[in-house]
Amino acid sequence: MPKAVVQSVFAKAKLVNVRDELTRDFYQLDPNTCITACPTLVYIANTFSVAAKSKDGKKILHSSHVDLEPKSTTPQIKQIIESTGYEYLFTENIETKKTPLKRILKMYQDCDYVVTTRLHGAIIAYAFKRPYIAISFDPKITAFNKLYGGGVCISDLNQLEQVLAGDQFKAQSDYQRELSAVRNFGALYQSQISG
């Protein structure tokens, strides 16, 4: 979307919320613009049972961004995950008639960890309290990881095996605080439209 269009919409808005400083700064929004994690956190919290899993789990979901992740990378990611002793699961994170949204989200709920090249792969992993490894082909995923944590972000596929061999990626997040911040913004929005 053109920057001028977004700026004109935000200039007229009573409330503005963005996911990170990268978005705020790109659109040259007010420095006091509200920043919270994605509303996906609330949807998942309201729809699914959300609980951290044991750190001994062995199922890794690979959430691929098919438009950004080079095609040769997908089999490499699978090979690295399996060679380090994990069970490999895969999603493109794209809803279709064959794979409805709830089935995709259930994959996140059932896995232990996530390896993702997709921003919403990291967001959904975070929403399910699943530690993730973000392989960044996009600055948005890096910005999300920097601001909210809950996993690690790498910029080179060659780092994946080493990261999987350690426990650093099994990072704790501040999930409850971020969930509350999104809910608080939602309540503020509700008060504005009903008041």
pLDDT value at residue 96? 95
Q: How many domains does the chain have?
A: 2
- 50 and 30 in a single domain? The answer is no
Q: Which residue range(s) make up the domain with 23?
A: 1-35
Domain shared by 150 and 86, yes or no: yes
Q: What is the mean pLDDT of residues 153-181?
A: 94
Q: What is the mean pLDDT of the chain?
A: 94
pLDDT band for position 194 (50/70/90)? confident
Q: What is the pLDDT of residues 49-90, one digit of tens each?
A: 999 998 889 999 999 998 888 888 999 999 999 999 999 999
pLDDT band at 171 (very low <50, low <70, confident <90, very high): confident
Residue 27 lies in a domain: yes
Mean pLDDT of 132-153: 96
- The full DSSP string for 76-136 is HHHHHHHHTTPEEEEE-----SSS-HHHHHHHHHH-SEEEESSHHHHHHHHHTT--EEEE-
Q: Model confidence over 10-59: pLDDT tens digits?
A: 999 989 999 999 999 999 999 999 999 999 999 999 999 999 998 889 99
pLDDT given at position 70: 84
Residues 90 and 139 in one domain: yes
How far apart CA 77 and CA 193 sit, in angstroms, is: 46
What is the domain-level CATH number for residue 56?
A: 3.40.50.2000
